[in-house]
A and B are shown apart, each in its own frame.
Chain A
């Protein structure tokens, strides 16, 4: 399939997922189920990664700054802003592209191969809307929340690293967290999380939904879903950096 055919099919699928659902109550239940799977189910991995990224950023920054002319409280400032502007949204979504993306592609791909999607279509259900819509909605709601959690835990990780080492004083780190704060950075973080959440779920669902063949093709499609979602997130990150700053 050429890249233009893929983009065309992706656009057509996106137009279907936002059409009116057949049964609002079932759709709502499915959205809640997906929120639990995508959002709640990803808390442990996001928490673990964010905490250590914050801690490592604090240690590395302190190593660079201590002994230089840069004030030590800048460590807290750097940890906060890198978490808000880049690491929490981008790293979290890249991790989720692997975890959630492969899961969505495999789930939908298996449904396609085992004719479960055909069974839904025979019943007269818009499968794009019923199967993919709730996943996308759940992602654009829960991923920004996960990213907020990630930023908070990253900053906490930095705090713990500073508190348990002899690099800089904790009071300096806390002072840095309060220095030069621009609330717009939080807006940037949330916009990025929303866009990345949409991209990773819609692209992964697309690759799962259109699987043809058997287990071999399903594996390939799942890998492709993760790779293409990750590339899309990085490209979108670059574009958003230009647009929002």
Chain B
């Protein structure tokens, strides 16, 4: 579980996160949604420790990372997996080398054990047999899946996904969403997904916080989204007339 307590972040004196309180539960897909510039990426980067918070506390179970020593932070980071927006694969390494990189860096496993683990996670993300391809030789969706494989190869307790569906077609987005959801359940991971993809919200949003101008404007789950009367949330989620009509139809059905 990850708990945020009054998290604030400023850049050059300008505050972009204004006291965020939230709880991200284990075994659930926790979504951070909001318009571009609402502070989603800054919040996720604060949670993973890439940005230092200006004030407030971030707890990973009982460990407050805002007060953690470098040593504590380093060992905690080995329990964190992250899928970046563009995949962030090391482009001089093959798919297999990318996935096994954390194993090479932080474990003393034998070559055979590492190869078996890499094959296992590549199979889990449906990329068996792609071991020797370079990142430049695979599609955007495959890059995301390699990113997921690399993120879970060390059996993390926490998984962060920064806009996992950006640049993907709706079908591939769905595949990535389901993969994230299944992995979260399988490994009982605390998953935090930063997205503004409405399909993701409806598919995997078990616990959602909606950010608006650096504040938590609304929180709930994907079912509450349909019935919420929060104007800002409604404007954001049902921005297109097609989605507005879809919502009306769904509400009428219920």
Contacts and interface: CB of A to CB of B under 8 A. Distances in A.
Interface of A: 22-23, 26, 110, 114-116, 118-119, 121-125
18 contacts: A22-B105, A110-B91, A114-B86, A114-B91, A115-B84, A115-B88, A116-B89, A116-B90, A118-B50, A118-B82, A119-B88, A122-B82, A122-B160, A123-B77, A123-B78, A124-B73, A124-B74, A124-B75
Q: Would you list the 9 A-B pairs with minimal beta carbon distance, nearest first?
A: A124-B77, A115-B88, A119-B88, A124-B74, A115-B84, A122-B82, A23-B105, A116-B88, A124-B78
A119 B82 contact: yes
A78 B64 CA distance: 67
Given A119-B82, A122-B77, A122-B82, A114 B88 contact: yes
B114 to A, nearest CB: 13
A26 B50 contact: no
A26 B105 contact: yes
Contact of B84 (A26, A110, A118, A125): A118
B148 interface: no
Given A114-B91, A115-B85, 20 more contacts: A22-B105, A22-B106, A23-B104, A23-B105, A23-B106, A110-B91, A114-B88, A115-B84, A115-B86, A115-B88, A116-B90, A119-B84, A121-B50, A122-B48, A122-B77, A123-B78, A123-B105, A123-B106, A124-B77, A125-B105
Contacts of A114: 86, 88, 91
Interface in B86-132: 86, 88-91, 101-102, 104-106
Contacts of A125: 105
B80 interface: yes
Tell me the dominant secondary structure on chain B's binding face. mixed
Nearest to B85: A115
A119 B93 CA distance: 14
Nearest to A111: B90
Nearest to A126: B74
Contacts of A118: 50, 82, 84, 88
Contacts of A115: 84-86, 88
A243 to B, nearest CB: 37
Contacts of A26: 104-105
Nearest to B150: A119
B73 to A, nearest CB: 8
B138 to A, nearest CB: 15
Given A116-B88, A116-B90, A122 B80 contact: yes
Interface residues of B, number: 24
A57 to B, nearest CB: 39
A118 B106 CA distance: 17
Contacts of A124: 73-78, 106
Contacts of B76: 124
Contacts of A121: 50, 77
A78 B160 CA distance: 64
A167 to B, nearest CB: 49
A127 B16 CA distance: 27
Interface in B33-60: 48, 50
A84 to B, nearest CB: 37
A175 to B, nearest CB: 51
Which of A26, A114, A125 gathers most chain B CB within 10 Å?
A114
B29 to A, nearest CB: 19
Which of A23, A123, A125 gathers most chain B CB within 10 Å?
A123
B149 to A, nearest CB: 13
Contacts of B86: 114-115
B71 to A, nearest CB: 10
B152 to A, nearest CB: 13
A201 B181 CA distance: 44
Which of B81, B88, B101, B106 gathers most chain A CB within 10 Å?
B88
Contacts of B75: 124
A26 B80 CA distance: 21
Contacts of B50: 118, 121-122
B156 to A, nearest CB: 10
B48 to A, nearest CB: 6
Contact of A123 (B85, B89, B102): B102
Nearest to A123: B102
Contacts of B91: 110, 114, 116
